[in-house]
Structure formats: structure tokens, C-alpha cells
Homo-oligomer: A and B are copies of this chain.
Amino acid sequence: MEESTNSSVIRDNNRQKRTREKVINLAMQVLAKNPTASLNEIAEAAEVGRATLFRYFKSRKQLIQELVVEADRKLEDATRPIIEKNLSARDTLEEFVKVLVPLGASFHFLNSEQLHSEGSGIEDLYRNQLVRLKVLSKRLRAEKVVATDIPLVWIAAVLDNLIYTAWVTVLDGDIAPNDAPGLVLFSFLNGFAHL
């Protein structure tokens, strides 16, 4: 599978773009929930022919690699504007959670063990997201938004997983999309202890 070369007459390049994006989005979701899903299952989810996958991606492996790159790009696009706002750590956390929960598939995709193969040339992307969360967690500690005696790696890991859990729970229809970011924030900061 490979991306079509540009021709001098482009009659429906938007259609190709739409098809490719649809495949990437659906593939991301399917593989986030089931890394063993076949190309046939991905094609069905994306409502395209299996042959169409090969028109855009050279192989299953390349599809997955592009999913990783795309996931990282999406997460970067979503979080960079927030960082550039130079908000307080607390407000940054809130904005982060709002944009990251809907991106749960992209989120989880980068953390999948399946992708941790050497020589794929995209290893660093795996760590990007956890680095983003560590940086944020450091700022939260520095600004005393969170406790200072909890290991940083634990704080970042919990935030990571809360965001993914919210995404899955929304996908399962168990909580409303609008409620999800608030639940993540509440759980992360306050826990569930009855007051």
C-alpha cells in the first residue's frame, strides 16, 4: 500500500484525504482496543476495502508506524498551544485533560508495548507523551498543586491511565463525554474519599 503520487489533474484529492484520515482514525481506535486486530477488521471498521489500505500504506507495519507518528502529532498539536499560553500549572492540567481525553486512542497507542521494537525509527515518540506528563507533573509539584512526596513517575503514570480510562469509559457509553474531563480532574486531584 502506498500514497498515490500527485497527478497534474486532481479531480478528487479531497476524497483521498478523507479516506486516508478515516482509515487512520478508525485504525487507531481499533488497534488501541485490540492490538491483534487483522487488516480485515481494520478495513471493516473504517468501511473501506482491504485493498484500499494498501493504496495508502505499504504494509501493516507501515500503517502502524504512521499511526504512531500521527498520534504523536495529534497530541503535540493539542498540547503545544496550551503550553504556549503560559497558564498556571493547575490551569494547564485542566486544559490538558480537556483535550487529551478525546484523544485517548492516540494516547494509548503510543504506550502500547507492541510498538516497542528497536530500529523502527520512532522509539522516541513512545516516550514523548509520558515526558509531556512528567513535565506537567513537575510543574504541578513546583507550584504546589500536587503533593511533593509522591514519586513523579507515579503521578504521571496515574494521570496517563486516568485519561485513557476516561476515553474507554466514554467509548463504552458508561459516562458522558462532557463529564469525562471533570471526572479525570476530580479523581486526579481529590480521589474518592468521602469528606
Contacts of A195 in B (CB 8 A): 147
Docked Cα-Cα span, A174 to B150, in Å, equals 12
Interface SS, A side: helix
Give the number of residues in A that approach B within 8 Å (Cβ atoms).
40
Are B154 and A169 within 8 A (Cβ)? Answer: yes
Q: Mark A147-191, 1 if CB is under 8 A from B, else 0.
A: 110110111011011101100110000110001000100111111
Task: Decide yes or no whether A145 CB sits under 8 A from chain B.
Answer: yes
Task: Decide yes or no whether A124 CB sits under 8 A from chain B.
Answer: no
Docked Cα-Cα span, A78 to B177, in Å, equals 35
Q: Mark A48-75, 1 if CB is under 8 A from B, else 0.
A: 0000000000000000000000000000
